[in-house]
Protein backbone atom coordinates (compact mmCIF):
# COMPACT_ATOMS: atom_id res chain seq x y z
CA UNK A 1 0.00 0.00 0.00
CA UNK A 2 1.35 3.38 -1.04
CA UNK A 3 1.74 5.91 1.76
CA UNK A 4 0.21 9.34 1.35
CA UNK A 5 2.45 12.36 1.03
CA UNK A 6 2.35 15.07 3.67
CA UNK A 7 0.53 17.28 1.14
CA UNK A 8 -2.15 14.62 0.58
CA UNK A 9 -2.64 14.14 4.32
CA UNK A 10 -3.08 17.89 4.83
CA UNK A 11 -5.52 18.12 1.91
CA UNK A 12 -7.44 15.12 3.24
CA UNK A 13 -7.71 16.65 6.71
CA UNK A 14 -8.85 19.96 5.22
CA UNK A 15 -11.54 18.18 3.19
CA UNK A 16 -12.75 16.21 6.22
CA UNK A 17 -12.92 19.46 8.22
CA UNK A 18 -14.77 21.26 5.40
CA UNK A 19 -17.43 18.57 5.26
CA UNK A 20 -17.78 18.59 9.05
CA UNK A 21 -18.16 22.37 9.08
CA UNK A 22 -20.81 22.52 6.35
CA UNK A 23 -22.81 19.27 6.31
CA UNK A 24 -25.57 20.41 8.68
CA UNK A 25 -27.24 22.85 6.25
CA UNK A 26 -27.83 21.55 2.74
CA UNK A 27 -28.38 24.84 0.90
CA UNK A 28 -26.99 27.22 3.49
CA UNK A 29 -28.48 30.41 4.86
CA UNK A 30 -27.43 33.83 6.00
CA UNK A 31 -25.77 32.15 9.00
CA UNK A 32 -24.52 28.88 7.52
CA UNK A 33 -22.46 27.84 4.52
CA UNK A 34 -24.04 25.36 2.10
CA UNK A 35 -23.07 21.70 2.27
CA UNK A 36 -19.68 21.13 0.66
CA UNK A 37 -19.96 17.32 0.47
CA UNK A 38 -20.12 17.09 -3.34
CA UNK A 39 -17.09 19.33 -3.76
CA UNK A 40 -15.25 17.44 -1.02
CA UNK A 41 -15.74 14.10 -2.78
CA UNK A 42 -14.68 15.53 -6.15
CA UNK A 43 -11.58 17.18 -4.70
CA UNK A 44 -10.69 14.06 -2.71
CA UNK A 45 -10.94 12.05 -5.93
CA UNK A 46 -8.62 14.52 -7.65
CA UNK A 47 -5.99 14.90 -4.95
CA UNK A 48 -5.98 11.53 -3.16
CA UNK A 49 -6.35 8.27 -5.10
CA UNK A 50 -7.14 5.98 -2.22
CA UNK A 51 -10.48 4.15 -2.02
CA UNK A 52 -10.26 4.10 1.77
CA UNK A 53 -10.65 7.89 1.76
CA UNK A 54 -13.86 7.54 -0.28
CA UNK A 55 -15.14 5.02 2.28
CA UNK A 56 -14.01 7.24 5.15
CA UNK A 57 -15.80 10.25 3.70
CA UNK A 58 -18.98 8.17 3.30
CA UNK A 59 -18.72 7.15 6.97
CA UNK A 60 -18.10 10.76 7.97
CA UNK A 61 -21.17 11.94 6.04
CA UNK A 62 -23.34 9.29 7.69
CA UNK A 63 -21.97 10.05 11.14
CA UNK A 64 -22.48 13.79 10.68
CA UNK A 65 -26.05 13.20 9.53
CA UNK A 66 -26.69 10.99 12.56
CA UNK A 67 -25.31 13.61 14.97
CA UNK A 68 -27.25 16.40 13.27
CA UNK A 69 -30.53 14.50 13.50
CA UNK A 70 -30.09 12.76 16.85
CA UNK A 71 -28.42 15.55 18.80
CA UNK A 72 -28.71 18.89 17.00
CA UNK A 73 -32.37 18.94 16.07
CA UNK A 74 -31.92 18.77 12.29
CA UNK A 75 -35.01 17.39 10.55
CA UNK A 76 -34.76 13.77 9.32
CA UNK A 77 -37.01 14.38 6.30
CA UNK A 78 -34.39 13.22 3.78
CA UNK A 79 -33.47 10.02 5.64
CA UNK A 80 -35.61 7.54 3.75
CA UNK A 81 -35.01 4.31 1.81
CA UNK A 82 -33.48 6.59 -0.86
CA UNK A 83 -30.64 7.63 1.52
CA UNK A 84 -28.47 4.75 0.27
CA UNK A 85 -28.40 6.40 -3.15
CA UNK A 86 -25.97 8.92 -1.72
CA UNK A 87 -23.29 6.28 -2.26
CA UNK A 88 -23.57 6.35 -6.09
CA UNK A 89 -24.19 10.11 -5.92
CA UNK A 90 -20.85 10.67 -4.20
CA UNK A 91 -19.16 8.00 -6.32
CA UNK A 92 -19.99 10.00 -9.45
CA UNK A 93 -18.18 13.10 -8.22
CA UNK A 94 -15.33 11.04 -6.71
CA UNK A 95 -14.69 9.30 -10.04
CA UNK A 96 -15.01 12.61 -11.89
CA UNK A 97 -12.17 13.87 -9.68
CA UNK A 98 -10.17 10.71 -10.41
CA UNK A 99 -10.75 11.13 -14.14
CA UNK A 100 -9.73 14.77 -14.10
CA UNK A 101 -6.57 13.91 -12.13
CA UNK A 102 -5.48 11.68 -15.05
CA UNK A 103 -5.97 14.39 -17.69
CA UNK A 104 -5.03 17.48 -15.65
CA UNK A 105 -2.43 19.85 -17.08
CA UNK A 106 -1.08 23.10 -15.68
CA UNK A 107 -2.93 25.32 -18.18
CA UNK A 108 -5.92 27.63 -18.37
CA UNK A 109 -7.53 25.26 -20.90
CA UNK A 110 -7.37 22.50 -18.30
CA UNK A 111 -9.29 24.74 -15.91
CA UNK A 112 -12.07 24.93 -18.50
CA UNK A 113 -12.08 21.15 -18.79
CA UNK A 114 -12.26 20.89 -15.00
CA UNK A 115 -15.27 23.22 -15.02
CA UNK A 116 -17.05 21.11 -17.62
CA UNK A 117 -16.35 17.89 -15.75
CA UNK A 118 -17.48 19.45 -12.46
CA UNK A 119 -20.76 20.69 -13.96
CA UNK A 120 -21.45 17.35 -15.66
CA UNK A 121 -20.61 15.28 -12.56
CA UNK A 122 -22.61 17.50 -10.23
CA UNK A 123 -25.57 17.33 -12.61
CA UNK A 124 -25.42 13.52 -12.74
CA UNK A 125 -25.08 13.44 -8.94
CA UNK A 126 -28.19 15.62 -8.68
CA UNK A 127 -30.11 13.34 -11.04
CA UNK A 128 -29.20 10.30 -8.92
CA UNK A 129 -29.91 11.77 -5.48
CA UNK A 130 -32.94 13.80 -6.48
CA UNK A 131 -34.46 11.11 -8.69
CA UNK A 132 -33.91 8.44 -6.04
CA UNK A 133 -35.50 10.63 -3.38
CA UNK A 134 -38.65 11.22 -5.41
CA UNK A 135 -38.85 7.61 -6.60
CA UNK A 136 -37.96 5.70 -3.44
CA UNK A 137 -38.53 7.93 -0.41
CA UNK A 138 -42.24 7.13 -0.25
CA UNK A 139 -42.95 10.80 0.37
CA UNK A 140 -44.30 11.55 -3.13
CA UNK A 141 -46.16 8.47 -4.39
CA UNK A 142 -48.43 10.40 -6.77
CA UNK A 143 -45.98 12.98 -8.16
CA UNK A 144 -46.40 13.69 -11.85
CA UNK A 145 -43.72 14.81 -14.30
CA UNK A 146 -44.79 18.49 -14.17
CA UNK A 147 -44.50 18.52 -10.38
CA UNK A 148 -41.11 16.82 -10.58
CA UNK A 149 -39.87 19.32 -13.18
CA UNK A 150 -40.99 22.16 -10.91
CA UNK A 151 -39.01 20.69 -8.00
CA UNK A 152 -35.93 20.17 -10.18
CA UNK A 153 -36.15 23.82 -11.27
CA UNK A 154 -36.36 24.82 -7.60
CA UNK A 155 -33.46 22.74 -6.23
CA UNK A 156 -31.02 22.09 -9.08
CA UNK A 157 -29.62 25.65 -9.30
CA UNK A 158 -28.83 25.71 -5.57
CA UNK A 159 -27.35 22.20 -5.70
CA UNK A 160 -25.10 23.09 -8.63
CA UNK A 161 -24.15 26.57 -7.44
CA UNK A 162 -23.17 25.46 -3.93
CA UNK A 163 -20.82 22.79 -5.25
CA UNK A 164 -19.35 25.01 -7.96
CA UNK A 165 -18.63 27.83 -5.53
CA UNK A 166 -16.52 25.53 -3.38
CA UNK A 167 -14.78 24.13 -6.46
CA UNK A 168 -14.08 27.64 -7.79
CA UNK A 169 -12.49 28.57 -4.45
CA UNK A 170 -10.45 25.35 -4.47
CA UNK A 171 -9.34 25.96 -8.07
CA UNK A 172 -8.31 29.53 -7.27
CA UNK A 173 -6.34 28.34 -4.24
CA UNK A 174 -4.73 25.58 -6.30
CA UNK A 175 -3.75 28.03 -9.06
CA UNK A 176 -2.34 30.48 -6.52
CA UNK A 177 -0.35 27.81 -4.68
CA UNK A 178 0.98 26.07 -7.78
CA UNK A 179 1.90 29.42 -9.38
CA UNK A 180 3.73 30.35 -6.20
CA UNK A 181 5.48 26.97 -6.29
CA UNK A 182 6.58 27.55 -9.89
CA UNK A 183 7.92 30.99 -9.00
CA UNK A 184 9.78 29.58 -6.01
CA UNK A 185 11.24 26.78 -8.16
CA UNK A 186 12.36 29.27 -10.82
CA UNK A 187 14.05 31.54 -8.29
CA UNK A 188 15.90 28.69 -6.60
CA UNK A 189 16.88 27.06 -9.87
CA UNK A 190 14.89 23.85 -9.28
Range with the poorest average pLDDT among 18-27, 107-116, 159-168, 177-186: 177-186
**pLDDT score recorded for residue 157:** 93
Residues 37-52 have a mean pLDDT of 95
Identify the burial level of 28 via C-beta atoms within 10 angstroms of its C-beta, where 0-12 means exposed, 13-18 middle and 19 or more buried.
middle
pLDDT score of 137: 83
Q: What integer best gives the mean pLDDT of the chain? A: 87
Which pLDDT belongs to residue 94?
A: 98
* Cα–Cα distance, 81 to 136 (Å, whole number): 6
Q: Are 41 and 56 in contact (CB under 8 A)?
A: no
Q: Where are the domains of the chain?
A: 6-188
| Model confidence pLDDT, tens digit, residues 51-96 | 999 999 999 999 999 998 888 888 777 788 899 999 999 999 999 9
Residue 46 is predicted with a pLDDT of 97
Q: pLDDT tens-digit profile of 2-15?
A: 778 889 999 999 99
Residues in the chain: 190
* Calculated CA dihedral for residues 117, 130, 150, 154, nearest 10 degrees: -70
Average pLDDT in the 96-121 region?
Answer: 95
pLDDT at 26: 53
The mean pLDDT of 93-122, rounded to a whole number, is 95
Smallest Cα–Cα separation from 167: which of 98, 104, 119?
119
Phi and psi angles of residue 35, each rounded to the nearest 5 degrees, phi first: -60, 130
Amino acid sequence: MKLLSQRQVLIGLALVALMAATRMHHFGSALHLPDASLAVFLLAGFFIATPWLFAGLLLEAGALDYVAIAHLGVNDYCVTPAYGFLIPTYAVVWFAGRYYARIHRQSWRSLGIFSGIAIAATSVAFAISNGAFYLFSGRYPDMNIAEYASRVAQYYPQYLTGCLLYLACAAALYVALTARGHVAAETTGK
